[in-house]
Amino acid sequence: METAIPPSECQVGFAVRKAPSAVLRNRVRRLMRESWRQGRHALAAACAAHDIRMTCVFLYDFRRAGQAPSFADVDERMRCLLHTIEESIVKA
């Protein structure tokens, strides 16, 4: 059963690729979720203002990163991504 995305709402998913262990995979996923939770408000406001429904998947790839990130690293990258997405919504 597929559910419809409510008007002007953002759905997100988080994936971690090629993690050396399940512990690291789950930790990075938790860090991404927490960073999203703290920074989602501006993106949600932009979606509501332009009546946009959005589905995003954020992927962390250990092959490119090489090591487990700290929360500061994940938060910096997430905020940069959210800002870029928000700018593209406002320009559209």
Q: Please tell me the predicted confidence (pLDDT) of residue 78.
A: 93
Tell me whether residue 2 is in a domain.
Answer: no
The range of the structural domain enclosing residue 44 comes to 10-91
Q: Residue 52: enclosing H or E segment and its boundaries?
A: none
Residue 65 near residue 19 (C-beta atoms within 8 A): no
Q: What is the model's pLDDT at position 34? A: 95
Q: Using pLDDT thresholds of 50, 70 and 90, give the confidence band for residue 5.
A: low
For residue 82, being part of any structural domain is answered with yes
Alpha-carbon distance of 60 to 39, in angstroms, equals 17
Contact 53, 89 (CB under 8 A): no
Domains in the chain: how many in total? 1
Nearest to 79 by CA among 25, 29, 46, 40: 40
pTM of the model: 0.82
